[in-house]
Each structure stands twice: as C-alpha cells, then as structure tokens.
Amino acid sequence: MTKEKKGNSYLFMGVSSCGKSSIGAEVAKRLDAKFIDGDDLHPKANILKMKSGQPLNDDDRSPWLERINDAAFSIEMKSEEGVIVCSALKRRYREQIRQGNQKVTFIHLHGDFELVKQRMLERADHFMPVELLKSQFDTLEMPESSEQDVVEVSIDGSFEDVVERCIDVIQARK
C-alpha cells in the first residue's frame, strides 16, 4: 500500500539557533518527506554578500523567498510532502511564500531569548554574536491569529520532545 503525500509543505520558521534545521531534518526523516534547507536556495549574489560579512536586506531576500515559494509550489504540484527551513521572521516574508501555494503550514519554533541564547552557546559548529541573536528577535514579527496557517511549537524541552510536538502538530493538520 502506497502512502499518499497530498502536496503539503511544512515550513519550519524562527530565529537563528531555535533548531529549525536539525528539528526539520529529523521530522522530514520520520515523515519520509523531502527536506529542503532554505539556506541552500539563496542566489549567488546573496551568498557572496553574506560571505563578505554584509547583512541581507529585504530586497536581497526577495529572490530567495521566491525560490522558497517555488519549492513549496513544486511539492504541492507533485503531491509530495516536504519540510522547508526558512526563518520567515517577517509577515511579508510569510506572505510571499504563501502566494499561489495552498498547502503550506508554518511551524514556528519558538522560545524566549534566554533559552535560544543558551542553545546557541551550546552549538559547537556555529557561532553568532549575541547582538545578532538580539537583532533576530527584534526583527521577528510574531505571527498573528489571522495567520491561521502558522502553528507555534515551543522549543522548551529535549530535542526528542520538540520533534514529537512537531509531528503531533503535523498529524493533527492532515
């Protein structure tokens, strides 16, 4: 018996160091879903700009968000199931990803500043100054109740607990 995928994309969003990539990858594995790290979809110009130490602005992000939108569209059109990782910190970013896509659910991995800072400091393979983490929180536009396709999942707890919460949320929305 084959499992029907139905074209759903689950976009894991949140500030840096909240666990988007690691949790998203594990959820995709357990759901037998495609995994797409949004960082891999940046255009060449963005990669070069970030590599030179310059932050991206909204104009820089627009083609990147279009690629994420296209990835979700492709998943939907092929009736696959996918997990896409993208910070999607601003409502207008989420709106751009939604355009033309009917089956996107945003999983907002959320924790307070101190919890995320602690997780960031525990990461051996990644370093971000605390000031940049603060700027992520300052930039974050918390999803509003009118964004009915956004589900908040607390990152407080073990990795396994957060993965299970995400899977439970996804199963409840199917």
The string of pLDDT tens digits covering residues 41-91 is: 999 998 888 888 777 889 999 999 999 999 999 999 999 999 999 999 999
Domain boundaries, position 133: 8-173
Q: Is residue 1 part of a domain?
A: no
pLDDT at 1: 37
In this structure, what token pair is assigned to residue 154?
């607390």
Q: Is residue 104 part of a domain?
A: yes
Q: Is residue 84 part of a domain?
A: yes
Q: Is residue 129 part of a domain?
A: yes
pLDDT at 2: 45
Pinpoint the alpha helices (H) of 81-144.
91-98, 113-122, 130-139
The span from the CA of 29 to the CA of 49, in Å, is 32
pLDDT digits (tens, 9 = 90+) for 89-138: 999 999 999 999 999 999 999 999 999 999 888 876 655 667 778 888 99
| pTM of the shown model | 0.92
- Of the pLDDT bands very low, low, confident and very high (cuts 50, 70, 90), residue 5 is low
Closest among 167, 16, 165, 23 to 87, alpha carbons compared: 16
DSSP codes of every residue in 30-96: HHT-EEEEGGGG--HHHHHHHHTTPPP-HHHHHHHHHHHHHHHHHHHHTT-EEEEE----SHHHHHH
Number of domains in the chain: 1
129 secondary structure, DSSP code: -
pLDDT at 55: 78
If you average pLDDT over every residue of the chain, what do you get? Answer: 92
Q: What are the residues facing 65 on neighbouring strands?
A: none
pLDDT at 19: 94
What's the CATH number where 166 sits? 3.40.50.300
